[in-house]
């Protein structure tokens, strides 16, 4: 299929630029943490096809996630029902995936792993608990250095274990949690810090990964939608989890599970519903969705022991997953959204009008990142896509871009072909464009501008 995705194209580009030796956050910029760049860079090494290579890594990542979902479900439910939970979770995932290759998707194994450990940790020996706390600390660090919000469920798990330790006055458990989870966090964090200090990009990495994002969350860049399908996608996991937690507590009076559910619900809400509410953010709540369904089904535990009930729930889950997949795949709007054939053709058309030896002198302004992958070129400028979107959150980015255009030998500028340009975000750029560049070529998607003056 001729589809590159939006964020996915940005992330693949970052992986390619890293593998090409470019310095993260100095020679190319995005507001995701370094671990995402490392994941993309590793994924691109698997086969000699960038999209297929990342897809293979996604399959491995999702396979591990499914195993962990099954293990959590198997703690409470029979074998076939546990497989059904996996399929129902995949169904919910299809509502939030939004093109895939997102930080939320890469976070799922660590979230489910920590949830599994938290559910079972009281059955472990003291020595095994220490190992598990190290794993929790490492998982937290991996997500901390990818996207801060993504570690919310892990924070909830840590808070729960702390509460249990304090409630039981188990100071040994409390100290072990603090010490060993910190050790795990440092095992991941210290090499990352040393690496970025070594390449001279530590402050730039901190700015992009954290400071920029604190500016970003202050903006309501996606208005809340009250369409039923949008509310469904945003609230499905939290709603089912609340129902499951309430019914489970009413039936079993398990106060420890209730405390865990409260921690998960509060942190899950804060990390996905405070600030922008993109659908792919809701992927972070899939562990709550899985646990909620597990709790609901565990209420009928006696009946579920009967083979017939197991098969019915298993088959129902299977039919729901495959039925929705077939339905979605044949939706006209979905087919249209997944087909970038015209943009690919128009990008190649633009590329043909740029001399091959001058393609390194191209600056794409507000152009979809797929453009670079289609043209099979790497950007040679730090802010390589969605410049005005970044500049909306930090005006200094636009000033840096305008200065770059004036001081560097940028021969070609590619723009989206829009009926109307809102020049209020960056009026200086459009003044430079009108003064120093002439239109060279255009098609339905893109406009090619050529420099007419020299510095």
**Is the pLDDT assigned to residue 392 strictly greater than 70?**
yes
CA contacts within 13 A on the Cβ side of 409? 5
- Residue 455: pLDDT band by 50, 70, 90 thresholds? very low
Indicate the domain borders of the chain.
Answer: 7-334, 341-451
Q: Residue 46: which residues within 8 A CB-CB, separation 6 or more?
A: 53, 56, 57
Give the pLDDT score at 196.
97
Dist. CA 117–CA 139, nearest whole Å: 12
Q: Residue 411: which residues within 8 A CB-CB, separation 6 or more?
A: 358, 361, 362, 450, 451
Give the pLDDT score at 248.
93
Dist. CA 238–CA 96, nearest whole Å: 13
Q: Where is average pLDDT lowest: 87-96, 332-341, 405-414?
A: 332-341
Dist. CA 80–CA 313, nearest whole Å: 8
Dist. CA 99–CA 160, nearest whole Å: 33
Pick the most confident of 1-5, 67-71, 119-123, 294-298: 67-71
Q: Are 153 and 193 in contact (CB under 8 A)?
A: no
Q: What percent of the chain has pLDDT over 90?
A: 69
**Is the pLDDT assigned to residue 328 strictly greater than 90?**
no
Tens of pLDDT, residues 170-222? 999 999 999 999 999 999 999 999 999 999 999 999 999 999 988 776 655 44
**Is the pLDDT assigned to residue 344 strictly greater than 60?**
yes
The overall longest dimension of the chain from CA atoms, in Å, is 81
Averaged pLDDT of the chain? 90
Q: What is the mean pLDDT of residues 292-320?
A: 80
pTM: 0.92
Q: Are 436 and 452 in contact (CB under 8 A)?
A: yes
Dist. CA 367–CA 261, nearest whole Å: 43
**Is the pLDDT assigned to residue 45 strictly greater than 50?**
yes
* Three-class DSSP category at 274: coil
Specify the DSSP element, H or E, that contains 446: strand 446-451
* CA proximity to 259, closest of 272, 247, 245: 245
Dist. CA 31–CA 22, nearest whole Å: 16
Question: What's the Cα-to-Cα distance from 65 to each of 120, 135, 232, rounded to whole Å?
Answer: 17, 16, 23
DSSP 131-198: HHHHHHHHHHHHHHTT-GGGGHHHHHHHHHHHHHHHHTT-HHHHHHHHHHHHHHHHHHHHHHHHHHHH
**Is the pLDDT assigned to residue 111 strictly greater than 60?**
yes
Tokens of 211: 């400071």
Q: What is the mean pLDDT of residues 160-170?
A: 95
Give the pLDDT score at 27.
95
Give the pLDDT score at 360.
84
Question: Which residues share a beta bridge with 28?
Answer: 24
Residue 80, class by beta-carbon neighbours within 10 Å (0-12 exposed, 13-18 middle, 19+ buried)? middle
Specify the DSSP element, H or E, that contains 297: helix 286-298
- Find where tokens 């043909």 sit: 352
Would you tell me how many other CB atoms lie within 10 Å of the CB of residue 340? 20
Tokens of 193: 């810090």
Dist. CA 272–CA 384, nearest whole Å: 27
Give the pLDDT score at 393.
87
Dist. CA 372–CA 20, nearest whole Å: 14
């Amino acid at each position: 299929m001729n589809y590159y995705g939006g964020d996915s194209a940005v992330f693949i580009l970052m992986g390619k630029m890293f593998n090409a030796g470019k310095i993260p956050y100095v020679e190319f910029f995005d507001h995701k943490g370094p671990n995402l760049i490392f994941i993309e860079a590793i994924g691109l090494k698997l086969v000699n096809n960038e999209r297929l290579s990342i897809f293979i890594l996604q399959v491995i990542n999702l396979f591990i996630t499914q195993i962990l979902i099954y293990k959590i479900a198997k703690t409470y439910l029979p074998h076939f029902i546990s497989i059904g939970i996996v399929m129902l979770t995949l169904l919910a995932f299809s509502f939030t995936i939004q093109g895939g290759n997102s930080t939320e998707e890469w976070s799922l194994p660590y979230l489910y792993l920590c949830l599994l450990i938290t559910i079972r940790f009281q059955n472990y020996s003291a020595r095994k608990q220490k190992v598990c706390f190290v794993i929790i600390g490492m998982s937290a660090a991996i997500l901390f250095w990818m996207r801060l919000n993504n570690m919310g469920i892990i924070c909830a798990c840590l808070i729960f274990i702390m509460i249990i330790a304090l409630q039981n006055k188990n100071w040994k458990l409390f100290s072990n949690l603090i010490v060993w989870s910190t050790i795990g966090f440092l095992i991941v964090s210290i090499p990352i810090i040393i690496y970025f200090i070594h390449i001279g990009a530590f402050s730039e990495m901190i700015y992009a990964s954290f400071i920029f994002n604190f500016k970003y969350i202050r903006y309501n860049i996606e208005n809340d939608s009250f369409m039923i399908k949008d509310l469904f996608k945003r609230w499905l996991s939290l709603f089912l989890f609340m129902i499951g937690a309430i019914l489970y507590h009413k039936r079993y009076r398990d106060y420890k599970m209730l405390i865990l559910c409260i921690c998960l619900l509060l942190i899950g809400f804060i990390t996905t519903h405070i600030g922008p509410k993109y659908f792919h953010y809701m992927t972070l709540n899939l562990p709550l969705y899985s646990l909620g369904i597990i709790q609901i089904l565990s209420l009928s535990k006696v009946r579920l022991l009967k083979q017939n009930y197991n098969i019915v729930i298993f088959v129902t889950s299977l039919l729901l997953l495959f039925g929705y997949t077939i339905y979605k795949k044949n939706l006209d709007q979905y087919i249209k959204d997944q087909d970038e054939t015209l943009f690919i053709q128009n990008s190649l058309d633009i590329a043909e009008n740029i001399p091959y030896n001058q393609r390194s002198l191209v600056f794409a302004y507000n152009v979809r990142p797929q453009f670079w992958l289609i043209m099979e070129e790497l950007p040679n400028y730090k802010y390589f896509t969605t410049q005005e979107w970044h500049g909306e959150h930090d005006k200094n980015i636009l000033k840096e871009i305008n200065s770059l255009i004036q001081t560097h030998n940028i021969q070609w500028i590619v723009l989206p072909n829009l009926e109307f340009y809102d020049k209020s975000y960056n009026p200086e750029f459009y003044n430079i464009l009108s003064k120093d560049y002439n239109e060279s070529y255009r098609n339905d998607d893109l406009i090619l501008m050529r420099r007419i003056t020299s510095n």
